[in-house]
Structure 1
């Protein structure tokens, strides 16, 4: 056998490779882009068909899903092939998730020529008008980890985008904002630009890391100082319960991040006064809760004047929930409105709007405390109330039907368990995530699984309060929703 012969081995089910030549059109990297597109097709959720976010499987079939897409299927069956599922507490496939992140970076590199085409465009005005109408190309270009990662450090381009209305708080599929990317890569001037254009300083990204986490991890002292001067929270925790100081590897960085602010609490960590320009855009969608027939009629009249939509049942488009008095009601509509960050308003707002024939400022009529906390939480793009929490329903629920409670858990970012968690299970107790909205000085931070029972019924289950698993009455759950707080549980 000749020594210089090039031996090649090809498996029987592998197609014969195409000739090594460039396609007639598409550029030097067309083959690579095509291969990447095929890989991205394989990395799509079997249910929502989007690129996987926090990929999980249900245990017995080959289908892969985003974790949020199968929260209603744990312990039941695969929604695609109906194969029985045996995994109750799914874990994110970190290897596959890392592959998705790497594919995103490779996508950025292979499509750099798109940026050149963008920057050489002779009529930028038309391009930005198109972006404003479609809300796609420019927003995605500016989104940090989905496209054009390295151009977050291109100060003229970022300044131009911000001045022409690009959203500084747009998130990519992993939850990162431009501020996260600029803090991670040490682009101090870009961070300054973003903060000047009302970038949200405490918004969490992937695994609930804040921009301050990213700056601390990468040792960018000047950016840490700048973020702190704009109200960045030293007490912000990621899903592992770690603060920015826990990633500091120098004395200088630790001295900046410790001690925490004397007056900073979990409530100030999550809520702050928002700029008027950060209000939610889009049409008004109104719904009444607990209103009389006369009040419902007046609400319909207001909807016609404001050219707003009036709903009979709550859905994700609702922006304003109108109640009759000054006290939050435990109706499903009102509680869903709170969890979705809607305006929860006294009926006097309707009267004032009818009198002036225009939409009056909502702040004067907003129900305080829980509803306001939730609205600010949404405006700041912070995690939902029960982020990091799992719930198992034990017994019969009559006062608040189980179906309604499940809707509330889902709206609050919680997960449903199909099997009762075992407090003495090593697997259960070694889960290293924490509940985002738990008070930082409470052992409740480390509780991730709640066994709910209805305390107004005769059912009295055995008390459980062990590590990650706690027993909780349904009345506590409802109080948490209404106050938009993870309230302490009595011992």
Structure 2
């Protein structure tokens, strides 16, 4: 395609997008509705507070609205297409590029052409909210899941500091660039190598306008960054009180602890403490609010590249899996349990699976653990939704580690053993916990490090814990027995001395396994 043809393509896309922009916020419409007095399109959330149309200024007294599902489909498709095409504009029109053939990003252009080819793509069931538009989506050569896959790779491209384009724009305070990236679907919750999110960046810089902009785009307010500092910690530290009030109003936890046990409340001066406590009392959004749309988006992303390891001994299941891979390009079967695996297939009676090393490793690595019924229900035409076939528990319905771990990942929270240091006493040889779980020190060390903990080579001295190790467990229950316990000696039989201090406890390996099966830092028995 020539430069002129690309120019016409971009112009046509821009013209189409303008028709789908809300006349109030000038972003792609969210749940679009049409005003019956002037036929302009707006986000449904704006209408209740409007007295006049922002575009033509006509009075909206007596005005009603109507919605059309086709607009939702069109907006979704336009956003995806824009985000996929936009990165190539600068490459194609940049004066520094002598010719298109010499462009350093031609591999990306080639990937786009490949995505837009006639190659058949997999149809994976995604969250039920999208079911109404499935027929329209399937009429396109680019399926929803494949589109999300390609777009996420572009939007999440990082520099050597782990920063995305949104991180950089937020750090530099470029409001127009931030708005543009958000309209193209950039993730607001990605962490850089230091653990900071875009929200951390704008809070530190005191940019309330950008804070409010990010909060309108599915931004999680309690994501801990470096040293488990939340954006609210940063707002208090930098004395950005108005920003702190906005964060609290959107569900920021005023009692969130960093790795030293400091909370926004303890950091705040008395007069500031009263302000944020008052804001917390008045807010509508709770600390535990977790946006449904964000969950569904994450589940869609999990459909991108499905790498399955099957634990079932049934030949019918393994044969069916192999057959499915021939019809779904996003499905692969791994012959060994490795770090590429994203989905674990297990035998489950009434949704309950047995505990095993593979299941424990799957939980701490945030894998989907699915019943074999997912395989039997999927067909050559469609892969079934994961949620309907996720195991209900490990050994019992009360041990819901797989789902708890998955949501922990979606919320961008630290692993279950964050802030915890473990010494494994006398595990120099294999130790059989159950028929399916046999552990060594190396296996246990791998489990706890994958879950965010630290494995110690020497037994901790309760009287001289290094300052660098005096951390606060992120997931410890408030006012629980482990609230300040940073060190654990794990034993298989009786251990002497029986440490039961606030900062050091000696506990059996069964406790450690239960924590993983529940994905919860359990209170000692």
| TM-score class normalised by the smaller sequence | 0.5 to 0.7
Deviation at 1:259, TM superposition (A): 9.5
Match of 1:245 in 2: 265
Match of 1:447 in 2: 485
Give yes or no for contact 2:421–2:487 (8 Å, CA) kept in 1: yes
| 1:200 is aligned to 2:224 | no
Q: In 2, distance between residues paired with 1:376 and 1:248?
A: 30
Give yes or no for contact 2:352–2:391 (8 Å, CA) kept in 1: yes
| 1:173 is aligned to 2:193 | yes
Match of 2:431 in 1: 398
Q: In 1, distance between residues paired with 2:204 and 2:370?
A: 40
Deviation at 1:290, TM superposition (A): 4.6
Give yes or no for contact 2:155–2:186 (8 Å, CA) kept in 1: no
Match of 1:418 in 2: 457
| 1:343 is aligned to 2:357 | no
Deviation at 1:483, TM superposition (A): 0.4
Q: In 2, distance between residues paired with 1:136 and 1:262?
A: 39
Q: In 1, distance between residues paired with 2:320 and 2:370?
A: 15
What is the TM-score when the length of structure 2 is the normalising length? 0.62
Give yes or no for contact 1:236–1:244 (8 Å, CA) kept in 2: yes
Deviation at 1:231, TM superposition (A): 2.3
Deviation at 1:133, TM superposition (A): 8.3
Give yes or no for contact 2:311–2:345 (8 Å, CA) kept in 1: yes
Q: In 2, distance between residues paired with 1:389 and 1:272?
A: 29
1:81-480 to 2 correspondence within 5 Å?
132=154, 135-136=157-158, 140=163, 142=165, 144=167, 147=168, 150-151=171-172, 153-257=173-277, 273=292, 274-279=294-299, 280=301, 282-307=304-329, 308-325=331-348, 326-354=351-379, 357-368=381-392, 369-396=400-427, 397-399=430-432, 400-402=438-440, 403-423=442-462, 425-427=463-465, 432-455=470-493, 459-480=494-515
Q: Can you list the C-alpha shifts for 1:338-387, whole angstroms capped at 9, x where unaligned?
A: 11112122222212213x63122212222243211110111121101111
Q: 1:156 to 1:438 in 2, by over 3 A?
A: same
Q: 1:315 to 1:301 in 2, by over 3 A?
A: same
Q: 1:150 to 1:312 in 2, by over 3 A?
A: closer
Q: In 1, distance between residues paired with 2:480 and 2:419?
A: 15
The CA RMSD measured in Å over matched residues stands at 3.5
Q: In 2, distance between residues paired with 1:467 and 1:419?
A: 20
Q: 1:149 to 1:133 in 2, by over 3 A?
A: closer
* Secondary structure in 1 matching 2:459: coil
Q: In 2, distance between residues paired with 1:262 and 1:321?
A: 43
Q: 1:310 to 1:440 in 2, by over 3 A?
A: same
Q: Can you list the C-alpha shifts for 1:14-54, whole angstroms capped at 9, x where unaligned?
A: xxxxxxxxxxxxxxxxxxxxxxxxxxxxxxxxxxxxxxxxx
Q: In 2, distance between residues paired with 1:169 and 1:249?
A: 29
Q: In 2, distance between residues paired with 1:406 and 1:471?
A: 16
* Secondary structure in 2 matching 1:305: coil
Q: In 2, distance between residues paired with 1:149 and 1:191?
A: 9
Give yes or no for contact 2:254–2:276 (8 Å, CA) kept in 1: no
Q: Count residues with an aligned counterpart.
A: 362
Give yes or no for contact 2:237–2:267 (8 Å, CA) kept in 1: yes
Give yes or no for contact 1:386–1:414 (8 Å, CA) kept in 2: yes
Deviation at 1:398, TM superposition (A): 1.2
Unaligned runs of 5+ in 2: 1-89, 97-102, 110-152, 393-399, 433-437
Match of 2:29 in 1: none
Give yes or no for contact 2:249–2:279 (8 Å, CA) kept in 1: no
Q: Can you list the C-alpha shifts for 1:173-201, whole angstroms capped at 9, x where unaligned?
A: 21101101112222122112222222222
* Secondary structure in 2 matching 1:405: helix
Q: 1:343 to 1:150 in 2, by over 3 A?
A: closer
What is the TM-score when the length of structure 1 is the normalising length? 0.66
Q: In 2, distance between residues paired with 1:261 and 1:462?
A: 46
